[in-house]
Amino acid sequence: MPEATVACQRVYARPAGELWDVVGRFCAAWHPMVATVREDIQNGAVHRIMRLTDGSGMGERLTYRSASDRVMVYELVHGIDGCQRYIGRVEVTDDPVGCAVRWTARIVSRDPARAEDIAAATRPVLEAGLEALAGDLPQDAPAVAVGQGGCDVQRAALGETGLSGLQGAKSEGDTLVLFLHGIGGGAENWRAQIEALGSAYPCAAWDMRGYRQNDQPADTLEIDALCDDILGILHGFGARRLVLVGLSMGAWIATSFAMRHPELLAGLVLAGGCTGMSEAAPETRDGFLASRLVPLDAGQSPADFAPGVVDVIAGPYASDAVRAALHRSMAAIPAQGYRAALGCFCIPREQFDFSRISCPVLMMTGAHDRLAPPDDIRGVAARIHAAQTQPDMRFEVIAQAGHVCNLEAPDEFNRHLAAFLSRVASG
């Protein structure tokens, strides 16, 4: 189908963050050609319904946003006749002078002449926006409330699954927020998140099958059994939908669940991972597995080799308290359960078809994550965004954090998570 593109750029003697605080606010009426903007959340997706200064109306949907990268992508929903698709992208980058703002649009129309006409009309709109950024800027938007915090967190049995974990104060609601730990973690890794959000949403964090105090031993572990456990927890809470929040192996489990039960997901939060070992080179997969099986085969327990694992996963700014928490969670894992988890994680049965993910997605990773570096996770976020029929992706890099970013930087992690839950989860 015929396409036309428009690209405009301007350099400013202002900090990049200052301009991002304006252009990154999707539903703010800062553009001189926009009279009013109304935010409309539809199935978790953010729409802006605009009344323009010429009296016409337009609707657009936010499809990708990254505050850490200062990038935003949106699509036209209605308002331009003869336009089959209109994709806008704005990015704020550092520049020796201060910063640069690049604004582009891709227009698709069945009529080549109409595509060019729309492009010609788009250019002055983008240029007017860039000109406005050189003048007085509007006030900052109010910060997103993270929650009251201090929620009472209890250890509890999770449904009739035989699994236990942590549970927040709110136990009833349409949408359950379920936290899935990494291969070297446990439910306790999520305490700060449940404390912050567990009064607003039904929240639980499992200790995976074969881990900690569960009644489910694990000589072997299959991903289908783990997905069945998630279903059991969902039904035990009497909820209708899930927001799965997974870290590392937990992110891989959450994505595996999305492949099997996309209709049950209100949202997907993937931190420090997604594809797991399903796309890893054989030598990477074998090296990861061997480095952990060798000590197990020698009779050691996870407690024995926990210090070496912590050295790998902790970021350079991890406090002694964080490192101690990482050590405790690793040391609490039974050797049998850890071996079974390794076999499940390192010998995956499938590669993911990201087009099956139909819910909003938030991806995060630590700036100093050596197992899931920002460039890798950014690439996966772009692939999911491209594959989704109705793309809805957020991607954030957590500054000064390593692999277990929710534990190393809980305030920043919780801020992004709270903003995501506010639009996808009904309490």
Q: Is 418 helix (H, G, I), strand (E, B) or coil?
A: helix
How far apart CA 274 and CA 319 sit, in angstroms, is: 26
pTM for the whole structure: 0.95
Q: Quick check: 220 pLDDT over 60?
A: yes
Count Cβ neighbours within 10 Å for each residue of 14-43 and write b for 16 or more, e otherwise: bebeebbbbbbbbbbbebeebeebeeeeee
How far apart CA 8 and CA 89 sit, in angstroms, is: 11
Closest by CA to 6, choosing from 183, 95, 93, 126, is: 126
Over residues 236-261, mean pLDDT: 97
Which pLDDT value is given to residue 349?
Answer: 76
Q: Quick check: 215 pLDDT over 70?
A: no
Instruction: Extract the tokens encoding 280.
Output: 């890893």
Catalogue all structural domains in the chain, each as residue range(s) with its CATH number: 3-132 (3.30.530.20), 154-424 (3.40.50.1820)
Average pLDDT along the chain: 94
CB atoms within 10 A of CB 352: 22
Over residues 183-201, mean pLDDT: 96
Residue 398, H or E segment:
strand 393-398
Distance of CA 34 to the CA centre of its chain: 30
47 or 346, which is more confident: 47
